[in-house]
Amino acid sequence: MKVILPLQKQPKILAAFKDGFDTVSKHFYLVLFPVILDLFLLFGVRITISDLMHVFIQQLTLPPSATPELIAGWQTLKSQLVDYFQVFSLTSFLRSFPVGIPSLFSKVAFQRNPLGDFHFIQIQQPGAILLGMLGFSILGLLAAYLFYHLIARASAKQELAASPTPVLHSLAAWFLIPVMTTLIASLVFFPVLFMISLIGAFFPIFTSFGYFLLTIAAISLITPVFFTPHLIHLEKIDFFRALITSFRTFRLTNPKSTTFLFLAIAVSYFTDMLWRIPEEDSWMLLISVLGHALISTIILTASFHYCLSARESVREFNENQMSESILA
């Protein structure tokens, strides 16, 4: 039987956002992390792989049996990919996934910035490209580790307990998040995506339905483990314990936790649309950088406060369950 805490005993959503705002106002240095990242992506050097990707994309061809409509659509897609990789930068991997410092510009392929044209560095060797992707991702993960750690310290109502394990163990738990995410995506998500595309080639009506089911499955898989990175820092536990604890915490507080995540994503999404209004060479982008950094840091800090409150509710529930068992 599925157990869910009564709504009145679950964490308060608006209180979490308020606490997030109060914490950031007292520790404004937290906003510097996303500000520095976005300023670097906006004004820094861009490391591109356009030449190599242009050759690779042009080598992709359709079978002779392809219809004229399909060929026309394919040519349009290839042209769009070439244009995108013309200005795509490997430095975007500094916004590491699935945990990283929030960034407004990590997915934006700028051609210019307020200072004028970018300075591009072209890389064509596959080995150097992989090394660049890995190097920037590791740097992003290390910066994100410090960012989350400082937010955890600022959000905790009392001083966080000293870690019983060395910092290297905590870092190992942190790096397991992208490793396990990549592993699951490679073994489950991408094969299912391929199967949907393959079946959709013969039964087009199945494509939309298949993508819908895959989206629902992905959401159902991701949301219960959302608090995993939070718990690594708040409770100083390893990756797998944090994963299990997040799942149990989310399950017991499901209605409120789902609502909190929906509101956090919605606020982030719609405010990002506002911050992207200025042109790529407008100095108003600096206002966008600060606004995005402030909102995203408040939302992330609010999630730490919500996690702390949820864990407190679960502990009270466990203590009550234990007391009832003893009395019985």
Q: What is the pLDDT of residues 17-75, one digit of tens each?
A: 999 999 999 999 999 999 999 999 999 888 988 888 888 888 877 777 667 776 777 78
Q: What is the mean pLDDT of the chain?
A: 87
**C-alpha to C-alpha distances, 206 to 202, 203, 213, 214, nearest whole angstrom:** 9, 6, 10, 12
Q: Give me the half-sphere count of Cα atoms (radius 13 Å) on the Cβ side of residue 239.
A: 14
Predicted confidence (pLDDT) per residue in 76-121, tens digit: 878 888 888 888 899 999 999 899 999 999 988 788 889 988 888 8
Query: What per-residue confidence (pLDDT) applies to 212?
Result: 76
Higher pLDDT, 206 or 84: 84
What six digits make up the tokens of 139?
């740097």
- Does the pTM surpass 0.85? The reply is yes
What pLDDT, in 10s, does the model give residues 132-166? 999 999 999 999 999 999 999 999 875 555 555 56
pLDDT of residue 177: 96
Helix, coil or strand: residue 124: coil
The predicted pLDDT at position 233 comes to 94
Return the CA Rg of the chain.
23
pLDDT at residue number 1: 46
* pLDDT (0 to 100) of residue 12: 94
Q: DSSP per residue over 11-72, as a string?
A: PPHHHHHHHHHHHHHH-GGGGHHHHHHHHHHHHS-EEE-HHHHHHHHHH----TT--HHHHH
Beta strands 116-117 and 112-113, pairing class: antiparallel
**Residue 244's pLDDT is what?**
95
Listed ranges 53-57, 205-209, 273-277; the one with the highest mean pLDDT: 273-277
287: pLDDT strictly greater than 90: yes
| Cis peptide, bond prior to residue 166, ω within 30 of zero | no
Q: How far is CA 195 from CA 182, 199, 210, 212, 280, in A?
A: 19, 6, 9, 14, 39
Residue 211 clears pLDDT 80, i.e. is over it: no
- pLDDT at res. 322: 55
* Averaged pLDDT, 183-192: 83
Taken in order 284, 118, 101, 155, the sign of the CA dihedral is negative
Work out the percent of the chain whose per-residue pLDDT is above 90: 54
Q: Taking the CB of residue 310, how many other CB atoms lie within 10 A of it? A: 24
Which position has the token pair 């769009």?
80
User: For position 160, what pLDDT does the model report?
Assistant: 56
Confidence of residue 197 (pLDDT cuts 50, 70, 90): low
- How much of the chain, in percent, has pLDDT values that exceed 70? 90
